[in-house]
Amino acid sequence: MALTDTFVKQVKPIKLSGDKYADGHNMYLFVKGAGKYWRMDYQHLGKRKTLAMGVYPAVSLAKARARRAEARELLADGIDPAQAKREHKEALTIAAVHTFEAVARSWLTKTAAERADTTQIKVTGWLAKDVFPYIGAMPISTIKPRDVLSAVQKMEARGAVESAHRVKQVCGQVFRFAVATGLAERDVTADLKGALSTAVKTNYASITEPKEVASLLRSIYGYSGHPYAVAALKLSPLVFVRPGELRGAEWMEIDLDGAEWRIPGHKMKMKSDHIVPLSEQAVAILRAVHPMTGHRKYVFPSIRTDDRCMSENTVNAALRSMGYAKDVMTAHGFRAMARTILDEVLEERVDLIEHQLAHAVKDPNGRAYNRTAHLPARRVMMQRWADYLDELRSGAKPIPLRAA
């Protein structure tokens, strides 16, 4: 006779060794002491086994019967339900350990050599601030597309649309790493195509009119912020590298006596080594900052720790404090400034300018030039550029752009 809820609730143990009360199909309630346990006897591959299906009242009669039905289905397919239960428990344990944050940090460590130090810091910051608080504790194998979307939409809502797209891409890389290591079935971010607003492509704001550049330079040399920020600000127009490359500059890359800065390819956008000839003015700035940071890794270290370079916002913040809004001038805008004036005012060769900007430049046969291409000519150009900036700052009459 099948059991009833009332009987299961009220039954008391009789024998010290325990009592069994059958419910059909080899399932029974085992009552011993203060406990009531659901069990099911079965045979698999000729061996008699017992499956534990939970403890009453946490597992009700109805739930026990449902588990019995599941076990019978597994047996019908030739699967041992006890083994399936153990494997499921192991899978849950593995999933609990391999959370999104744990997998993401493992990915960050194992792929760090593929990114510049500044990019590593930026990506780590994005994940820590915008992803881990929302899905970091979730087992990566259980995360659904909507979970990732909910996190990146919070970035989108505060106006960081482009960053939201990039963070979604980073999450996709983490999921593909998880797939490769057997911790996830697929990259769920593939389902988010078109789910975010389209990022509007904009050029970095820049001042390119010589007269306005002269005013900017005078403001820079009158700026009285932190010494690291002052030095970085003064060096920005002289070397016109990307902001991340400037912030991540290391003393071991710089030869002050040889007036040369060699940036390794892993820090460059184009992944090729890059040489920056240093003008006399640039060397003077670096020599001035050397007593402060020369014993450290970075030329411009973080104010808080020697382990990181200065914040990506430092130069931009300095420009804002000087009265230059983000739609007028940016740290990245020094590149456009140099590109425009070197071409249209100083009439330097465009290929030399492009080389110095670390853009992809091809030779007549379509091959990429190496890092030392036209280096002597670039040295002359960089010194001429620095001298021109000094003239502007000192009040020499600026030559307007040809277009003007």
Catalytic residues: 242, 269, 332, 335, 359, 369
Q: What is the DSSP letter of 298?
A: B
Q: Collapse the DSSP code of 23 into the 3-class scheme (helix H, G, I; strand E, B; otherwise coil) and give the result.
A: strand
Tokens (6 digits) for 183: 């911790």
Q: How many residues does the chain have?
A: 404
- Other CB atoms within a 10 A radius of the CB of residue 382 amount to 26
Q: Are 189 and 148 in contact (CB under 8 A)?
A: yes
CB-based burial label for 103 (10 Å; 0-12, 13-18, 19+):
buried
Q: Of 369, 209, 195, 188, which Cα lies nearest the Cα of 275? A: 369
Residues near 232 by beta carbon (within 8 Å), at least 6 away in sequence: 246, 247, 300, 310, 314, 315
Q: Angle at Cα 38 formed by Cα 37 and Cα 44, nearest 5°?
A: 130
Rounded CA-CA distance 348/213 in Å is 18
User: For residue 255, what is the enclosing H or E element?
Assistant: strand 254-255
Strand order in the sheet with 274-277: 254-255, 260-263, 274-277
d(CA 187, CA 152): 16
Whole-angstrom Cα distance, residue 333 to residue 90? 54
Residue 56, strand partner residues: 36
Report which secondary-structure segment, H or E, holds 56: strand 47-56
Phi, psi of 35 (to 5 degrees): -105, 150
Rounded Cα distance, 276 and 101, in Å: 38
Output the furthest CA–CA distance in the chain (Å, rounded): 108
Residue 190 to residue 172: CA distance in whole angstroms: 7
